[in-house]
Chain A
Amino acid sequence: MTDKLTILIVEPDKTRAEAIIDSLAATGDHHIRVLSGSTGLARSVAEMNPDLVLLDMANPSRDAIDALTLASSPLERPVAMFVDRSDDGLTKAAIEAGVSAYVVDGMQPDRIKPILDAAIARFHMFSRMRSELAATKRALEERKIIDRAKGILMRARNMSEDDAYALIRKTAMSQGKKIADVAQALVTASELLS
């Protein structure tokens, strides 16, 4: 019981939080709490008294946690980022993966490493998913624009869909632009003219 770690995850997205919990469960039996809001974050952390705090580096509320490392009042337990420099590689890996980790001063690094490794792997997966999602969204938007541009050409020049696409592609190549950009220009121009 005494050697169970209390881990606090600050994460507004429920699915993400659950995925992180799952990945941590594989590293041992911990008390895991999730905090979703950022209001009164510092106070909640002080009350929960965790051994380890994990949060996304992209979360602006990280500064509120960072400020806790300076707290000296007995009510607010001081936490320090996992940077006693005993393991620079781990710190670097964590920051590159976008995870900020805060641990209570004096905790054994060998107890933290497996947990942090699991969290890092999970965060890497998230950032990959995020970029994939962004790319997919962009591709979809570009396709919509190209479809609209094709439609405009088909009506205005009375050409087939294939010919319309070929014309857009040819123009893009001769101007050294992306197909989506040429299509966007055409859509904008036609909106201005209509």
Chain B
Amino acid sequence: MRTLPLTLGFMPLVDAAPLVIARELGFAEEEGLALTLQSAPSWSTLRDRLVLGQIEAAHMLSPVPVAMALGLGGLPTQLDALSVLSINGNVIGISNALADQLDTAGSTPDFLDAKAAGAALSSLKKPLRIGVPFPFSMHAELLHYWLAASGLNTAQALDVRTIPPPLMADAIATGEVDAFCVGEPWGSITVENGGGTLLLPGAAIWQFAPEKVLAVRHEWAASEPDITGRLMRAIWKAGRWLDQPDKHATAAEILSWPEYLGVSAEITERALSGNLLINARGRSRHVPQMMDFFAGAATFPWKSQGAWIGARMAARFGLDRAQSAAKAAAVFRSDLYRRHLGPLGADLPAASEKLEGALSEPTRAATDSGTLILGPDRFFDGQVFDPERPEC
């Protein structure tokens, strides 16, 4: 079989792993694809390269294709989310000064307790400057969701700034921001440099947040169904490989290569294994569901996940919620997922949308061929999102 060349773009983050592993361990080759992976300096540049056809597919923040469907930011082009690349993986960190204040007040919250962390920050009664990598990101969505529920979302109390991930560790060390929400390895690097302390993993706010998606141009997916299928299968197999705990060391090693992250394997492995160092004094914590690539139908692009992002964004940018949720749901191509990954034996849920936030335990769900176990997906405040009623 002749291999087809295909160029993919990614941001140097741990959750780019499915693309990297698909290439390096031959899953792409098995599907007849010769992948070239191109590192991008910023999310806007990655997005523009995809839109203008310089690359065929990208490791993308799940809210970016949704934002484009809603006409927010960037060139007006329709992007599709073929599958979810990873669940969770972000961390919230605070400056050492802020950590000291919490310590002095005796209100340092438990690392997995989002409610207590919100209350602790709110009790300081000080405006917060927070860095996020991009305005359309799960980072921004989780922060706004968490801080609104903690009473910290007013314009006086909150100043959210866009800071690219590689500059985040500097921004907090130099006091440009008081806190950040960033993807790994940048939280761990901050701890490693002694520039800040981790306060909370993103998973403590939402246990099953679709973090990155495999994004392509809508037109391209329509005109290249065969290559689309091959790409989806290669990436899905890479995710299945990454799901095995005994592969974390190998994955971390490959990700550490200079053409990918260029960060030591020991630091990269923290997010993969869920064993984080949370402060410079060496305190460590295990985070369940820190970052998932496969388990619990992690890669299935639930339309209700898209709808949640669309509804949240609509509320913030003053758009119609129901319309936005519907547009956003259409971006998540569960139909293509079924078509291309079903024959491979991927777990296919019987429905393409679910209540988001309803499961507090691993739960059996009906599939086309039997059952599958869905991971817990609770929001920290116990809210449930019904995609049929997005205005609530």
Enumerate chain A interface residues (CB-CB to B < 8 A).
Answer: 38-40, 42, 57-67, 69-70, 81, 83, 85, 91-92, 95-96, 100
Residues from chain A with Cβ under 8 Å of B161 in the complex: 42, 64
Which one of B48-56, B348-356, B357-365 contacts A?
B48-56
Question: How far apart are B318's CB and chain A's nearest CB, in angstroms?
Answer: 9
In this complex, what residue of A is CB-closest to B44? A66
> What does the 1/0 interface line of B171-202 toward A look like (CB < 8 Å)?
10010100000000000000000000000000
A39-B176, A42-B161, A95-B49 known; A60+B73 contact, CB < 8 A = no
Extra contacts besides A81-B74, A100-B44 (9): CB < 8 Å:
A38-B167, A40-B176, A60-B166, A63-B163, A64-B163, A66-B73, A85-B75, A95-B48, A96-B54
Determine the residue in chain B with the shortest Cβ distance to A60.
Answer: B164
In the complex, B308 has a CB within 8 A of chain A: no
Name the residue of chain B whose CB is nearest to the CB of A58.
B41
Q: Is the CB of A63 within 8 A of B176?
A: no
- Is there contact, CB below 8 Å, between B73 and A61? no
Q: What are 27 inter-chain pairs, A to B, with CB distance below 8 A?
A: A38-B167, A39-B171, A40-B176, A42-B161, A42-B162, A57-B42, A60-B42, A60-B164, A61-B164, A63-B42, A63-B133, A63-B162, A63-B163, A64-B161, A65-B44, A66-B134, A66-B162, A67-B162, A69-B73, A70-B73, A70-B135, A81-B74, A85-B75, A91-B75, A95-B52, A100-B44, A100-B48
Nearest-neighbour CB distance to chain B for A55, whole angstroms, equals: 10
Distance in Å: Cβ of A99 to nearest Cβ of chain B? 11
State in angstroms the CA–CA spacing of A95 and B43 once bound together. 14
Report how far A91 CA is from B174 CA in the complex, Å: 36
Among A38, A40, A58, A64, residue most surrounded by chain B Cβ atoms (within 10 Å): A64
Question: In the complex, which residue of chain A has the Cβ closest to the Cβ of B11?
Answer: A60
Q: Which residues on A sit within 8 Å (CB–CB) of B42?
A: 57, 59-63, 66
Which residue of the partner chain, among A38, A58, A83, A96, contacts B75 with CB atoms under 8 Å? A83
Q: How far is A59 from B42 in the complex, measured between Cα atoms in Å?
A: 7
Chain A positions within 8 Å of B41 at CB level: 57-60, 62
Contact of A70 among B72, B165, B174 (CB under 8 A): B72
Chain B residues within an 8 Å CB radius of A85: 75-76
Counting from the closest, the 3 A-B pairs by CB-CB distance are A60-B164, A67-B162, A66-B44
Query: Chain A contacts of B164 at CB under 8 A?
Result: 60-64
B284 within 8 A of A: no
Cα A83 to Cα B73 with chains together (Å): 11
Chain A residues positioned under 8 Å from B244 (CB to CB): none
CA–CA, A85 to B44, complex, Å?
17
The answer to whether A95 and B162 touch (CB under 8 A), given A63-B43, A70-B73, is: no
Chain B contributes a number of interface residues (CB within 8 A of A) equal to 28
Closest residue on chain A to residue B72 by CB atoms: A70
Specify which chain A residues have a CB less than 8 angstroms from the CB of B167 in the assembled complex.
38, 60-61
On chain B, the residues within 8 Å of A81 by CB distance are 48, 74-75
Closest to A83 in B: B75
- In Å, the complex CA distance between A9 and B75 comes to 22
Tell me the complex Cα distance, A25–B114, Å: 54
Q: How far is the CB of B135 from chain A (nearest CB, A)?
A: 5
From known contacts A39-B174, A42-B162, A70-B72, infer whether A63 and B44 are also in contact, taking CB-CB under 8 Å. Answer: yes
Flag if A100 contacts B176 (CB, 8 Å). no
For the complex, what is the distance from the CA of A67 to the CA of B44, rounded to whole Å?
A: 9
Q: Is the CB of B135 within 8 A of A67?
A: yes
Given contacts A42-B161, A67-B162, contact A62 B45 (CB under 8 A): yes
Complex Cα distance, B43 from A169, in Å, reads 45
Q: Which residues of A contact B74 (CB under 8 A)?
A: 66, 81
Q: B162 contacts A64, CB within 8 Å?
A: yes
A103 to B71 Cα, complex, angstroms: 18
User: Which chain A residues lie closer than 8 Å to B317 at the CB level?
Assistant: 70
Residues of chain A contacted by B54 (CB below 8 angstroms): 95-96
Write the nearest CB–CB distance from A38 to chain B, whole angstroms: 7
A70 to B318, CA, bound (A): 12
Among A65, A66, A69, A81, max chain B CB count under 10 A is at A66
Most buried by A among B48, B52, B134, B176: B48
How far apart sit A58 and B164, CA to CA, in the bound complex (Å)? 12
Complex CA–CA separation, A60 to B41 (angstroms): 5
**Shortest beta-carbon distance, B52 to chain A, in Å?**
6
Which of B54, B133, B135 has the largest count of A CB atoms less than 10 A from its CB?
B135
Q: Could you say which residues of chain A place their CB within 8 Å of the CB of B52?
A: 91-92, 95
How long is the Cα–Cα vector from A59 to B44 in the complex, in angstroms? 11
Within 8 A of A (CB), among B119-171: 133-135, 161-167, 171
Please indicate the chain A residues that have their CB under 8 angstroms from the CB of B76 in the complex. Answer: 85
